[in-house]
Structures are given as C-alpha cells and as structure tokens.
C-alpha cells in the first residue's frame, strides 16, 4: 500500500483561531495514527500561524509512525530539523508569507543551496525529499542535490482532473518514470482528495507516499476523522 501521511496544519489553524488548546493537536495526531495513518506531516512557518515550533517538539515525543517536517530551509527551520531528527524532511521553496505551497524547486538555480542543506540532514540520517514539478530536466537535476526523494506538486493534476483526468495525469506519469530511471523515490502532495486520489495512485509508477491535509481534515468535518482516514486508505489500496 502507498503510505498516507496526514498533514495536521489545519487542526493547528483551528486551535489558534480561539487560543487555548481546542482542538488538541497532540490528541488528533495520536488519533490519526490510531486510525491507520502511516505518518504525520507538519509545516511550521516563521509566523507560527498554524503549527508552532513548540508543537514540533511535542509531536516528536508522541509520533510513533513517520514524522515528516516540511518547510522552507531557513536557518531557523534547518536548526529545528537537525534538533528534532524526524524520519523525513520535505523542502519547499515557498517564502514565509506564502499562504500555501504553490510551486516546486527550480533545482538548477538553487543547486548549491540544496546540496549543502541536504548534506546537513543526511549527517543526521534524515531522509530528504524536495517539492518539485513535472519538468523532466528539473527532475534529472534533482539527483545532483543528493535528495532521497522528490515530492510531486500535484495541484495542477487536481485542478485539471475534473475536465480530463487522463490529460491531467499524463505529465505526472512521465515525471515518475523519469524519477525512477535515475533512482529517485517518489512522494506526492497538494490538493489530493477523495475525488482524485485513487486514479493518481493507480497510475503513478513507484509512488511511495502521499501527504494530505486540507481535503482530509475538511472531509473529517462530515465523515468523522476515523472514517475519513479509512476512506483515504482505501483509495491507496492498489491491485
């Protein structure tokens, strides 16, 4: 089965809207694992508008599956990851003020920076993944960074899926084939949902993990968290 990592940023957003500790982020993370999720993803930002840096330390003590920390590799972020030592770090190129991740790395323009950063994480045996789009030459260049994985930025797939799912996924299939060709492992995330996840999982060769937050937490408002996680897991049972 392709692994499901639940991004709990939206739980932190809801908590922060009123102050206090409702909903309890740690309880939700533990429940996600108890309900079958294979990992927990967080994206701490400098303004702490959802996940706080203190949350990351608390979650490290709690998460028993895979802990994935994603974010822009500022010094503060790098220091945090090196201290926490999660199972995986996912590097995204978005600036601190970005509402959400909206583009992948232009690897050639950031090659030296990415190589140096990834080397730091590898010194602590942290698996690295970089957020990337489907341009084949960019994927080949990613190999030079030393990254273990790429995470395919799937917003274009999700946006185009309702009109023509075969056309929407075509570039992602070719990107996955290219990644496999050079030995890069494959994650995916951004706007994957119950509507489009199964088709993506069935058609992307070598897909190991998806990270899903906004759609999953939104669905949980209607279906309940346990039921929703099980619904997503069923989409990932291929074959």
Query: Among all residues, which ones are annotated catalytic?
Result: 43, 70, 190
**Whole-angstrom distance, CA of residue 205 vs CA of residue 13:** 34
The answer to whether 69 touches 57, Cβ cutoff 8 Å, is: no
Residue 64 — left, alpha, or beta (φ > 0 → left; ψ -120 to 50 → alpha)?
Answer: alpha
Task: Kindly give the residue spans of alpha helices, DSSP state H, lying in 63-196.
Answer: 75-84, 111-122, 136-142, 155-160, 165-181
- Residue 28's contacts (CB-CB under 8 Å, 6 or more residues apart) are 8, 11, 225
Joined together, the tokens standing for residue 219 give 């669905």
């Amino acid at each position: 089965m392709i692994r499901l990592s639940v991004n709990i940023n939206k739980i932190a957003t809801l908590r922060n809207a009123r102050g206090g500790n409702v909903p309890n982020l740690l309880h939700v993370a533990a429940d996600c694992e108890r309900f079958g999720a294979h990992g927990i993803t967080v994206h701490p930002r400098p303004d702490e508008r959802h996940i706080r840096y203190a949350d990351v330390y608390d979650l490290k003590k709690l998460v028993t599956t895979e802990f994935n920390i994603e974010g822009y590799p500022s010094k503060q972020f790098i220091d945090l990851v090196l201290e926490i030592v999660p199972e995986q770090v996912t590097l995204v190129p978005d600036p601190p003020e970005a509402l959400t991740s909206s583009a992948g790395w232009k690897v050639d323009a950031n090659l030296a920076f990415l190589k140096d950063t990834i080397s730091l994480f590898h010194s602590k045996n942290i698996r690295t993944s970089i957020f990337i789009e489907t341009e084949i030459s960019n994927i080949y260049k990613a190999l030079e960074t030393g990254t273990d994985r790429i995470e395919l930025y799937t917003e274009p797939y999700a946006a185009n899926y309702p009109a023509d799912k075969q056309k929407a996924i075509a570039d992602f299939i070719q990107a996955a084939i290219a990644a496999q060709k050079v030995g890069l492992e494959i994650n995916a995330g951004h706007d994957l949902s119950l509507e489009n996840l199964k088709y993506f999982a069935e058609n992307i060769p070598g897909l190991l993990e998806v990270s899903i937050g906004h759609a999953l937490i939104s669905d949980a408002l209607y279906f309940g968290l346990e039921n929703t996680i099980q619904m997503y897991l069923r989409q990932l049972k291929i074959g």
